């Protein structure tokens, strides 16, 4: 446990992939992979690790489970849209009308 985050239990044979390797596997750009990370589709501790001194490393078996749709977070991967003009709670607090 580092920085209050638990690392997921991994099997010794699990391969770790870089952002570039995941991008090549998914046939998307590295920027898209990072956007999926920051958007919450890929989650720290579930899909990838942040080892100190290195960039993020994806757990290949977890990524493959996500691709198959057998990952528990797969249903949350596409956020629902808001009705036009509706503001989020955070934007209301920052910019009261």
Q: Is the pTM of this model over 0.75?
A: no
**How far is residue 1's CA from residue 4's CA, in Å, rounded to a whole number?**
6
pLDDT tens digits for range 40-82: 999 998 999 998 899 999 999 999 999 988 765 544 455 556 6
Write down the pLDDT at residue 16. Answer: 94
**How far is residue 67's CA from residue 92's CA, in Å, rounded to a whole number?**
36
Question: Is residue 9 pLDDT above 60, yes or no?
Answer: no
62: closest CA among 51, 52, 72? 72
Write down the pLDDT at residue 74. Answer: 45
Q: Would you place residue 34 in the very low, low, confident or very high pLDDT band (cuts 50, 70, 90)?
A: very high
Backbone angles phi and psi of 18, in degrees to 5: -80, 170
**How far is residue 44's CA from residue 62's CA, in Å, rounded to a whole number?**
11
Q: How many residues does the chain have?
A: 97
Write down the pLDDT at residue 60. Answer: 93
Cβ(20)–Cβ(30) below 8 Å = yes
**How far is residue 59's CA from residue 73's CA, in Å, rounded to a whole number?**
15
pLDDT tens digits for range 15-27: 999 999 999 999 9
Question: Is residue 94 pLDDT above 90, yes or no?
Answer: no
């Amino acid at each position: 446990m580092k920085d209050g985050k638990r690392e997921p239990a991994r099997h010794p044979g699990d391969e770790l992939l870089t952002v570039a390797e995941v991008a090549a596997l998914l046939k998307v750009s590295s920027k898209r992979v990072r956007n999926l990370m920051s958007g919450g589709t890929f989650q720290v501790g579930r899909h990838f690790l942040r080892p100190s001194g290195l960039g993020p490393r994806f757990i290949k078996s977890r990524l493959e489970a996500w691709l198959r749709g057998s990952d528990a977070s797969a249903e949350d991967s596409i956020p629902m849209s808001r009705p036009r003009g509706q503001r989020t709670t955070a934007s209301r607090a920052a910019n009261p009308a």
